[in-house]
Amino acid sequence: MVSLRNVLIGLSVVFWGTAIWYAYALPWPRAKYGVLFLGSILELYILTEIMDLAGGGRENLVEDVRRAYGPGNRIDAALLSFSAIDVAVTAIYMLVNFQALYVERSGRALPHEYVGAAVFTFVIIYLTWRSFGGTFLAVVAAGFLYGYFGMYAPGPLQHGGLGIERILRTVVISVDGFFGFLTQLVAAWIALFLLYAGFLKGYGAFDLIMRVAFRSAKYIDSGIAQTAVLSSAVIGSVNGSQTANAGMTGSFTIPLMKRNGVKPETAGAIEAVASTAGQVLPPVMGAGAFIMASLITGVTYVDVIIAGLMPAAILSLTIFVAVHYVAAPQLDNSNADGLLQEKMPRSEFAMESLKYGIPLAVLIYKLGVEQVTVGTAALWTVVAMFLTGVSFPVVKAALTDVDEEPFDALKRTLWETLDGAREGVVVLAPVTIILAAINGVVDILTATGVPTAISLTLLDLSGGVLLVAAILSMIICIILGLGMPTTASYTIVALLVAPTLISQFFLPEFAGHFFVFYAAILAGLTPPIATCVAVACGIAGANFWKSCWEAIKISAPLFVLPFAFVYHPELVSAAFDAPSLTSGVLAMFGAIAIIHGINYRFVFGRAITAASRVAFFVTGILAMVHPSRTVQAIAVAIAVAMYVLQSVVGRPNPVAVAMGALGVGGDSPPAAGTPDKK
């Protein structure tokens, strides 16, 4: 049966076939392939939107089209159809005239090209609005308006203004802007990784991830809540948007936590923080690793991954501790054995682990040992995932007495492959659209000289004081990251803010980029926008402001860790030597002290409890950030001494809590105002 959904699947296969061929043979210049790629993915995105208007597009093609263009949908369908026609015309024209536009007439254009560029710009803005709503549309519109009306901007942000023709040449006609390096980066690097993610979902890897999380949960008092942390972080590391991940994994993890006694505000906060943490986890880092590797001269993707390991470990451990503190007292049942309706035999679990482990091993080998390009590594990873995803179920059906014949298993996995290809397009399209729009805005801002203006303004406001400059930079990063997915927020702050920290305050490039990277993802947790929290608390049915407060308490070290990169750049130096390991250990102790001070349920009187919280918080910040090793060591020693003192006093008993967290025995933190269990 031919339906819109099946048409989308078929076109997705053609699209991915072209992407795989490009990665293998490199038959075209990257800029030319970028035009073909953007035009193709925009057409597929438009088709998915029309399919949604048809209610999923699962009927026959004629019925799907009738429903998509029926009453209530006609305006949307008409705008999408117009967009599809314009995208096709623009992409074909630019491909046919690529040499003239990109080389021969660079800086000049014909009258009809300006008209076409203007229409295409409005189409991109419209599709951006459909993908990400009004918040991001305001960012794009502000960039264009600033480029045109720059003469009215205040102080150092003022410029002479760019004419309409120059703006159109910048964002479309020059084969830059919307088609620029970010779009080309997505086409050459990120796209195949998202196909890999689509295959993972199509073949059922997310189910295995949840099972691993549930098995781990058996050994921890807060295990049910920790399943959300583990699964959301792992899945979130490959999808490039903390907000999208909160909606995807949160639809399962949040109801699970609520059913077992976790308050809605706490459940929403845990999911939001876990999805945010996933954006910094190697090896993908929410696709931010690819962009960072392309922006920093002289480093490889592997260098970025190695540099990100230590801060990711610090963040993961502290979130684990924080979630244990806040969730364990709320859980009615900490036993995770009953979470899975069907048990998976050990042999099947091992085979499933091998099915998904082999492609991951291929990725690590290609990048870490052979050190091939990212595109080549992604190509081999996708091929390996396809081979194991199809062959393992067939072999299993042939060797075991299951209710499935080998041919049926082959047919099922091939359909899973097709659905994975479709899922890859669904995930890739919004990422491409927003990065294309950001690329256009960034090129306009670069043409106006605003990066230099921001640099001078930041230097002037800070008075040359590094700490003040870092605080102001973090505020700017959070503001610029509001409402954006990770890839977009990091890109814009990496191009506008990081150069100032590197050139004016002499931070190493990794330190500057990791500072803005971590700061930018904070926008998803920081009110009043806090899009990641908003999605999670919507699923949880929780109060937005209470959820934000819970999320900030759980993720408190994330607001401090970027400053550790400033004063201890060896943390992200991509070298595991004595200085970096020492800084990592001290920062980890400091982060745990902050979490303990904020989230632990002290049972002392109000005055002593408040003093304890402040003391742990201050010593934690000093241990993480202070430039003096001596001060850091003293701060850690004080925090440890206070922790031991709590144990000696016996109320509460954190040693027992720690033992319980490790599955050795002991109690969970008692509720405030209640004595320890004896």
Nearest Cα to Cα of residue 129 among 141, 118, 120, 117: 141
Q: What is the pLDDT of residue 645?
A: 84
Instruction: Indicate if the pLDDT at residue 477 is higher than 60.
Output: yes
Amino acid at 35: V
Average pLDDT, the chain: 85
Q: What is the pLDDT of residue 212?
A: 72
Let me know how long the chain is.
678
Q: Encoding tokens for residue 410?
A: 């082959």
The per-residue pLDDT for range 600-650, each reduced to its tens digit, is 888 777 888 899 899 999 999 999 999 999 999 999 999 999 988 877 675
Q: Determine the Cα–Cα distance for residues 192 and 21; give it in Å rounded to an integer.
A: 11
Q: Determine the Cα–Cα distance for residues 166 and 176; give it in Å rounded to an integer.
A: 12
Q: Dump the DSSP string for 291-357.
A: HHHHHSTT--HHHHHHHHHHHHHHHHHHHHHHHHHHHTTT-S----GGG-SS---HHHHHHHHHHHH
Q: What is the pTM of this model?
A: 0.80
Instruction: Tell me whether the omega of the peptide bond preceding residue 528 falls within 30 degrees of 0, making it cis.
Output: yes
Neighbours of 332 (CB within 10 A): 9
The per-residue pLDDT for range 441-456, each reduced to its tens digit, is 889 988 888 877 877 7
Q: Dump the DSSP string for 61-103.
A: HHHHHHHHTSTTTHHHHHHHHHHHHHHHHHHHHHHHTHHIIII
Q: Determine the Cα–Cα distance for residues 497 and 387; give it in Å rounded to an integer.
A: 43
Instruction: Indicate if the pLDDT at residue 661 is higher than 60.
Output: no
pLDDT band per the 50, 70, 90 thresholds, residue 666: very low
226 contacts: CB under 8 Å, gap ≥ 6: 213, 216, 217, 220, 320, 323, 324, 327
CB 636 within 8 A of CB 589: yes
The per-residue pLDDT for range 145-185, each reduced to its tens digit, is 999 998 988 877 888 889 999 999 999 999 999 999 889 98
Q: Determine the Cα–Cα distance for residues 665 and 663; give it in Å rounded to an integer.
A: 6
Cα dihedral across residues 338, 341, 346, 349: positive or negative: negative
Instruction: Indicate if the pLDDT at residue 360 is higher than 90.
Output: no
Higher pLDDT, 197 or 237: 197
Q: Determine the Cα–Cα distance for residues 481 and 525; give it in Å rounded to an integer.
A: 11
Instruction: Tell me whether the omega of the peptide bond preceding residue 652 falls within 30 degrees of 0, making it cis.
Output: yes
CB 437 within 8 A of CB 489: no
Angle between helices 544-554 and 301-327 (to 10 degrees): 110
Q: Determine the Cα–Cα distance for residues 385 and 195; give it in Å rounded to an integer.
A: 10
Residue 184 Ramachandran class (φ > 0 left, ψ -120 to 50 alpha, else beta):
alpha
Three-state secondary structure of 98-140: HHHHHHHCCCCCCHHHHHHHHHHHHHHHHHHHHHHHHHHHHHH
| CA 216 to chain centroid | 24
